[in-house]
Amino acid sequence: MENISVWLTAMRLRTLPLSVSGIIIASSFAHYNGYFDWKIFTMAILTTISLQVLSNLSNDYGDGMKGTDNDNRIGPERAIQSGKISPGAMLEAIKLNIVICIICSFLLIFTSFGSHHFYLTLTFFCLGVAAIVAAMRYTLGNKAYGYRGLGDIFVFIFFGLISVIGCYVLYAKTIDHIVFLPSVAVGLLSIAVLNLNNMRDIESDQLSEKVTLAVRLGSKKAKIYHYFIIITAIVISAIFGILYYTSPFNLIYVIAYIPLVLHLKKVKSIKKPKDFDPELKKVALATFLLAVLLAVGHLM
C-alpha cells in the first residue's frame, strides 16, 4: 500500500481536475447542439488523464535527473528527489504510460470517427502524437521547452485551444464559434496555475538554470503578468456570457469569479515564494468550478 501511495503522489492527482476542465466545457456544448456521445466523453477523459499523468511523471524524471529538484526547491518533494522511486523505475513507468496514451488516443479517434472522416482522423492522429511529445518534453531532453520559457505557450495550446476546440470537433466533426472564447479563458487560467508554480520556484530555478517565463520576467513583473492572465480570463468568459446569453442560468459560472478575485488579493500580499504553493490548488479548482458551472448553466 505504501508503494501505491508513493506512485499516486508522483502522479500528482491534484492536477487532474484542471486537465479535464476543457473536456467538460466542450462536452456541454456538444450536448446542447445534439452531438454528445458518452463513449467519446469517456475516452476523452481517459486520454486527457493519461496525458496529464505522463506529463507529471516526465516532469518528475526530467527535473530529478537535471538536478532541478533539490534541497533549494520549495514545492512538494518529488518522487525521484526523495529517493522513494528510482530513476529506472520512473523511466519504466513513463514508457508504460506512453503505451497507455497511445491506446487511449487510438480508441478515442476510432470511437469518434470510425472509418470515416479521413482528414480529421489524420489531424487528430498528429495532434495525439504532438500531445504525447509535449507532455514529455516540458522537462525531458537537452531542449526541454520548460527550461526555455515556453511552457506558458504550450499550456495555452493544449489545455485551452486543443482541449476545448479539439474535443468539440471529436463530437461534432466541425468547429463552432461558440467554443473559442471558453477555450481562451480555460487556457489562460491553466497558464495561471503554471505561473504560480514558476513564481514559487523562481529562486531554485534560477540556481538550476531553469529559465521559466517567471525567471525571465522577475518576481515583480511575474506578478503583474499573473494579474493580467486572471483578469483577462474573467473578462473573456464574461464576454462569452453576454454574447451567448439565453437565460439567467447561463451566468451561474460567475460564482467561480469569487475565489479568483480572492486569489488575486492574496497574491498581491505574498512576499515569500513558498506562500504561492497553496494558491495553485485554489486556481486549479476555481478553473474546474468555472468549467462545471459554465457547462451546467449552458444546459439549463
Q: What is the pLDDT of residues 169-204, one digit of tens each?
A: 999 999 999 999 999 999 999 999 999 999 998 988
Question: Rounded to whole angstroms, how far apart are CA atoms 49 and 42?
Answer: 11
pLDDT digits (tens, 9 = 90+) for 195-218: 999 999 898 888 888 899 999 999
Cβ proximity of 45 and 23 under 8 Å: yes
Q: Which three cell numbers stand for residue 226?
A: 499573473
pLDDT at 72: 65
> Residues 159, 161, 165, CA angle at the centre, nearest 5°?
115
Q: Which three cell numbers stand for residue 158?
A: 493544449
pLDDT digits (tens, 9 = 90+) for 126-163: 999 999 999 999 988 888 998 899 999 999 999 999 99
Neighbours of 277 (CB within 10 A): 16
Q: Which three cell numbers stand for residue 99?
A: 503505451
pTM: 0.93
Answer yes or no: is pLDDT of 3 > 90: no
Report CA torsion sign: 231, 236, 242, 247.
negative
Question: Rounded to whole angstroms, how far apart are CA atoms 250 and 178?
Answer: 13
Phi, psi of 139 (to 5 degrees): -125, -15
Per-range mean pLDDT, top range of 56-65, 103-112, 208-217: 103-112
Residue ranges of the alpha helices (H) in the chain?
A: 2-11, 16-19, 21-32, 38-66, 79-82, 87-113, 118-137, 151-155, 167-172, 180-200, 202-207, 213-217, 219-243, 257-269, 277-299
Look up cell 481517459; give the residue.
46
Answer yes or no: is pLDDT of 280 > 60: yes
Question: What is the widest separation between alpha-carbon atoms in the chain?
Answer: 56
